[in-house]
Structures are given as structure tokens and as C-alpha cells.
Homo-oligomer: A and B are copies of this chain.
Amino acid sequence: MAERAQYEELARQLSAIGAVKRELSRILPHDCPAGSAAVLTLLGRHGDMRMGKLAELLAVDMSVTSRHVAHVADRGWIERLPDPADRRSRILRLTDAGHARLDELSRSSSQLFADRLSDWTDHEVGLLSHLMGRLRESFGDCRATQRPPCPVEAEAVHATEPTTTRTPA
């Protein structure tokens, strides 16, 4: 349990983090907005899946998912295969073009992070990801972080970053 001032500060950070997201989206190709990139990323990471599953992973309504999926399907980056087990649903799968596109996206965004986060350590990056995942989890977004190995908050922190760590801002 934390105090009110801390919650207010967290709310403020959440409100302002959009600036970072917009910065990231600025490097995306014009025919691949953030929603499309997210679809490709999740299919690349988790493999073939149905719409409902993808909607869960995206943490948005299925209707929204449907639109994003239509967008990437129109561009040939994924295919929607029939599901033999349930003819109402469709199996989503990255095409070769989709894999290629995803690889480009991944490279360019990683490059941007590498530029901007050059003074961050491995561990700090992992810690932030981990805490953000936990935040989503705490807010009911169950699919938040299942795979990520979890960067071990406590020990690792001061073990790897004894010097860089206390940068206040």
C-alpha cells in the first residue's frame, strides 16, 4: 500500500507516457499504424491464434481487433484460415510478407530504443518492462506478462547497476 501522493504521481506518468508511444509510432511505415504493428508483433511472438485470443493479448475489444486484423490482412501480412474445430472462428497466421514486415518493424524500433536508451542498463529496461506488466496484471489485464522471465527486481538491481542507478532526473 502506497500513499496518495505516490498514486497521483503514477497517474501523472501514465497520462504522459503517451508522448513516448507517439514518438515510437512516428517511425512506423505509413501503411502500418501502431495497431497493425501490435497485431504483427503478437502473432510473431505467440504464433497462430484466433481473433478472441488476439483481442485478449491486445487488451482491446474484439471489434477493434477485427479492424486492425482486416488492415493487416488487406496488405497481405497475415492470412485468416478457417478453424476446422469451429467454423465461426478464424485462425490468424503471419504470411512470409508479414514476417518480413515484422522484422523491419522490430529492427527499427529496437534501433530507436538503442539510441534513446543508450544510458539504460539491461536490467533497468527489464525492470521497467516487468513493472509495467505487473501494473497491467494488477488492473485485471491477465495476459499482461506470462512469458517474460522476470528480471528479478531486488538483488539484480544493485548487483548490476551500483553506479548508474541513482540518476534522479
Q: Is A137 an interface residue (CB 8 A)?
A: yes
Q: Is A66 an interface residue (CB 8 A)?
A: no
Q: State whether B145 touches A169 (Cβ < 8 A).
A: yes
Q: State whether A106 touches B144 (Cβ < 8 A).
A: no
Q: State whether B6 touches A122 (Cβ < 8 A).
A: yes
Interface majority SS (helix, strand, loop, mixed), chain A: helix
Which residue on chain B has the smallest CB distance to residue A58?
B16
Report the minimal beta-carbon distance from A126 to chain B, rounded to whole angstroms: 6
Number of interface residues of A (CB under 8 A): 81
Find A114's partner among B7, B41, B45, B141 (CB 8 Å cutoff): B7
CB contacts under 8 Å to B, within A10-31, are 10-21, 23-24
| Chain A residues near B (Cβ < 8 Å) | 1-4, 6-21, 23-24, 34, 37-38, 41-42, 45, 58-60, 106-107, 109-110, 113-114, 116-122, 124-141, 144-146, 148-150, 152-155, 157-158, 161-162, 165-169
Give 7 nearest A-B pairs by CB, closest first: A19-B59, A154-B158, A13-B132, A7-B113, A150-B168, A2-B125, A145-B169
- 19 additional A-B pairs beyond A7-B117, A154-B157, A158-B158, beta carbons within 8 Å, are A1-B114, A2-B121, A2-B122, A3-B122, A6-B125, A7-B114, A11-B109, A12-B41, A13-B132, A15-B41, A16-B38, A18-B59, A20-B136, A116-B138, A117-B138, A132-B132, A145-B169, A150-B169, A157-B157
